[in-house]
Structure 1
């Protein structure tokens, strides 16, 4: 058994792990970590997000501490998710996965859409095996002194009170764990959700896909392909839609949409499907191939009624299930982690911040609900069969556009959600001015000058727990910082930033889409725009910052999230 030992409250390593008998009888102040249940991509990402903000956490992994390689289990990451993960891990994920050079969609023999990813259209999605992603996250966490991963630790009990939460695990290392907060990232069958008696309504088996990972050569060597109603004859279950997505080393993941029902997909039928598909794409001849992995992927649509119960939160598949029409549920789980981490970090360091913590459910649940509504509206059109729909002019191209949105992480089905109706949005400000990014949306990644004079991408400054204040000042890029940092509006803006109710970083950019000179942007730690002001307006800036934190900071006498009952993690 292990316990936490408070070693250096003000250092970068707030706790260490020591045997219980070493710590026995020693007087010390408890520093309760955040307990994360589940060591999948979402749980590991949340742990890294919290560590970047100097918040200790323990990850309860019911497995052995490593992941089984499965090439038929992959994830497609849009650019915002890639940027988040690379910022957290320090690893170039593009080398571990495959960047699509293009996207091609076909219906029967006709090419409906042909997209090339370049500097103008933006980078293509990154496709990689999920075990590669979790391996990269685990490698990054192994370097973090603030994170402990407890393998073979299966949760079976949760108790919480005003000062913290206690979790019990069973198995070879069964024990009690004491924490400040607990986050259930433990998947569709979440034990955390069940222990908190949270309903999880929705639809079962919205879509089913047969999946195969194989090494072969296809005519589209670097492009992903969606083929609807392929013209060749099928055998076994209908193959009305096929997706081919490249992976590194000549490997492809192929998905066949299955008809509704629970028809068994046998190995023989799957091999037949592979051979006829490869032959259909190669002019009738089946090329050599090596079958590496197979599976059946079933998509459910569900949304938890509550994402927070006191000090317990849900994230990822524990809170929502989606994935029809090419969308990626895992990506939304990563966005959950990014949204929740800075709020937990602020509460852990500074006090309860109840309104801020409540905003996690309000913001993220609204985004997922909108995703599910969009999918539910599109599914009858795309999966409803023939009839009049097949004769409506332009219907095929409209359907293709919807599917492209889902597969590429765009539009209502896949683009990063905007928190336009967030409870953290400030009321109308006299100095507010429109820019190309609406309030609540993710800011554009422009080059900025940091406080040390270095030029960095704006997104590189995210995830550190600080608000970002960005001054748009054309012409500053050609001068050394020392020449303009004390000139013009800078001294007044610097004083306003210093007076904000929370730590903030002042950055300067040459330009920003839709913003004029001397526009001031206030950006949340997760990269979503709070507001844009037309000039230096200290009162408006303070009001907007206070609103973004959920209201006034807790008073000096308020209890903090770090205050514990005196018992740190360990047996009881």
Structure 2
């Protein structure tokens, strides 16, 4: 079987390659550059619990050692603190990290992965596909033809793959613009991220009244100033003046010593590709979507694309294509991005004061702060990971299905579980291997050695049911799960989303849910059969 061709060696393309390799699927990554990442301290990403855990699994690295997990979030308006969030030490907190650091960690992991080949100086210029595979041509010093089973365009905003497949990319241009600076300085907020609206000091040049400060390692901060609508030129002199004014305003009138490391202007576009799949060709990351206004992030959604697509391509590569499973990638991921874009576009008029909608849908200052906070810290409709409740893979209502604190289709909580070898691990540590996870909630098991309860109670019957599932699955045991009563059984997808929760061991219901999850139909009468058992 030919490898998967991945076009683009940025974080999304490299993540997809590693995720496929973990499921024993080979890939070729076409990198149009020389294979090195330019260090740009002002180009950063905020990762949330699921995406940070994904990268940690794939790179074998504690990302917190390379970035900063926020200790809190502070929102200011003029001289007043509007809201504060403190993240407990054991609570998932946003992780701020330079993008070139992420790429470097991924490249290091790829270098040790025999199933991933990187082809540098390889710029795509043609794609041909037929029923059995895909052929891609690259130009440059290493120009040649490449043969693959599938091809995934992770080649960014100006995606060549998207253009070659004639896929439209409608949306809005320059939704927001930000002047950006990375600098080393001592600011009043140790480890906290800060949003300051309408600061009390006078400003110079074409700058709006909103600035964000996010910490990075080694005393470095990324500062973002919202720019007003238009195309006013931000000169280096104006930006330096703004840096000095902002730092002076935050430190009681005198500009503290600082070291300016990097600057730029970041323009946010909102776009969504019409199609994310064209036969054996897929789009992911910025090639498929652009978002980022109101604090929302683009990279974390690209990483979720890779996580979602990898576990669906793997069985297709190993066992032959299953159209319903492959089609679900577009159905799930495009809907999730569309929902975030709608939420941002609906909030923009009230937050930014543009257009007549401000008078139709007034947004009070505190509500404005709550919306912006959601986008920045990964909560609510602007920031939380999307749920796939409307997915074509969602099973029908099954007899014995119960509600837990995690809605159907949403990412599961990262509880401690006992693995089949008796070791205690986090639930997220077992993800990304292509297997479904079956979690039995059994209070008290954590204090006993596994050998004392693995053959007792419901375990033998559940173990037999898991073995009979239509897809590889791993049985785990948890002492507790939020909102789940004792002896509940949870079915979790390889990308962490909850399929269903059942009351007790129900082999037929579990089988029907697993079958639907991997793209097979729920047979008529399965619910009744599940209830009978």
- Deviation at residue 264 of structure 1 after TM alignment: 0.9
The equivalent of 2:528 in structure 1 is none
Decide which of 327, 339, 345 is 1:376's aligned counterpart. Answer: 345
Maintained 8 Å contact 2:349/2:358: no
SS of equivalent to 1:436: coil
Does residue 153 of structure 1 match 2:122? yes
Does residue 435 of structure 1 match 2:404? yes
The equivalent of 1:64 in structure 2 is 34
Partners of 1:48 and 1:453 in 2: CA distance: 27
Decide which of 392, 396, 415 is 1:423's aligned counterpart. Answer: 392
Maintained 8 Å contact 1:32/1:180: yes
Decide which of 97, 106, 109 is 2:79's aligned counterpart. Answer: 109
SS of equivalent to 1:231: coil
The equivalent of 2:24 in structure 1 is 54
Name the TM-score, length of structure 1 as normaliser. Answer: 0.89
Maintained 8 Å contact 1:59/1:150: yes
Partners of 1:519 and 1:220 in 2: CA distance: 44
Structure 1's consecutive aligned runs of 4 or more residues displaced over 2 angstroms after TM superposition are 385-390
Decide which of 340, 349, 362 is 2:331's aligned counterpart. Answer: 362
SS of equivalent to 2:372: helix
Maintained 8 Å contact 2:488/2:504: yes
Decide which of 86, 91, 108 is 1:139's aligned counterpart. Answer: 108
- Deviation at residue 217 of structure 1 after TM alignment: 1.0
* Shift in CA distance, 467/199, structure 1 to aligned 2, threshold 3 Å: same
Partners of 1:307 and 1:385 in 2: CA distance: 32
Does residue 464 of structure 1 match 2:456? no
The equivalent of 1:515 in structure 2 is 484
SS of equivalent to 1:186: coil
Partners of 1:509 and 1:367 in 2: CA distance: 29
Decide which of 271, 294, 302 is 2:240's aligned counterpart. Answer: 271
Partners of 1:44 and 1:145 in 2: CA distance: 14
Does residue 86 of structure 1 match 2:56? yes
Cα deviation digits, residues 339-380 of structure 1 (max 9, x gap): 000000111111111100000000000000000000011000
The equivalent of 1:173 in structure 2 is 142
Maintained 8 Å contact 1:389/1:395: no
- Deviation at residue 238 of structure 1 after TM alignment: 2.8
The higher-RCO structure (CA 8 Å, 6+ apart) is: 1
Decide which of 310, 313, 317 is 2:282's aligned counterpart. Answer: 313
Task: Please show how residues 292-311 of structure 1 align to structure 2 within 5 Å.
Answer: 292-311=261-280
- Deviation at residue 552 of structure 1 after TM alignment: 5.7
Maintained 8 Å contact 1:100/1:126: yes
Partners of 1:32 and 1:337 in 2: CA distance: 19
Q: For structure 1, which runs of at least 5 residues remain unmatched after alignment?
A: 1-30, 554-572
Maintained 8 Å contact 2:350/2:362: no
The equivalent of 1:16 in structure 2 is none
Query: Which stretch of structure 1 is more off in the superposition, 394-403 or 411-420?
Result: 394-403
The equivalent of 2:458 in structure 1 is 489
Query: Which stretch of structure 1 is more off in the superposition, 240-249 or 213-222?
Result: 213-222
Cα deviation digits, residues 365-406 of structure 1 (max 9, x gap): 00000000000110001001699969x998111000000011
Cα deviation digits, residues 236-285 of structure 1 (max 9, x gap): 11331001111111111111100111111111111111111111111110
Does residue 237 of structure 1 match 2:206? yes
Cα deviation digits, residues 399-444 of structure 1 (max 9, x gap): 0000001111111011111001000000111111111111101111
Name the TM-score, length of structure 2 as normaliser. Answer: 0.96
Cα deviation digits, residues 497-556 of structure 1 (max 9, x gap): 111111111111111111111111111111111111111111111110000001169xxx
Does residue 287 of structure 1 match 2:256? yes
* Shift in CA distance, 475/482, structure 1 to aligned 2, threshold 3 Å: same
**What is the RMSD computed on CA atoms of the aligned residues?**
1.7
SS of equivalent to 2:394: coil
Partners of 2:374 and 2:321 in 1: CA distance: 39
Partners of 2:478 and 2:187 in 1: CA distance: 45
The equivalent of 2:169 in structure 1 is 200
SS of equivalent to 1:192: helix
SS of equivalent to 1:285: coil
Partners of 1:47 and 1:552 in 2: CA distance: 29
The equivalent of 2:183 in structure 1 is 214
Partners of 1:206 and 1:99 in 2: CA distance: 28
SS of equivalent to 1:375: helix
Maintained 8 Å contact 2:184/2:221: yes
Partners of 1:240 and 1:80 in 2: CA distance: 32
Maintained 8 Å contact 2:350/2:357: no
SS of equivalent to 1:82: helix
* Shift in CA distance, 394/358, structure 1 to aligned 2, threshold 3 Å: closer
Maintained 8 Å contact 1:418/1:440: yes
The equivalent of 2:132 in structure 1 is 163
Partners of 2:101 and 2:183 in 1: CA distance: 17
Partners of 2:447 and 2:263 in 1: CA distance: 56
Task: Please show how residues 520-535 of structure 1 align to structure 2 within 5 Å.
Answer: 520-535=489-504
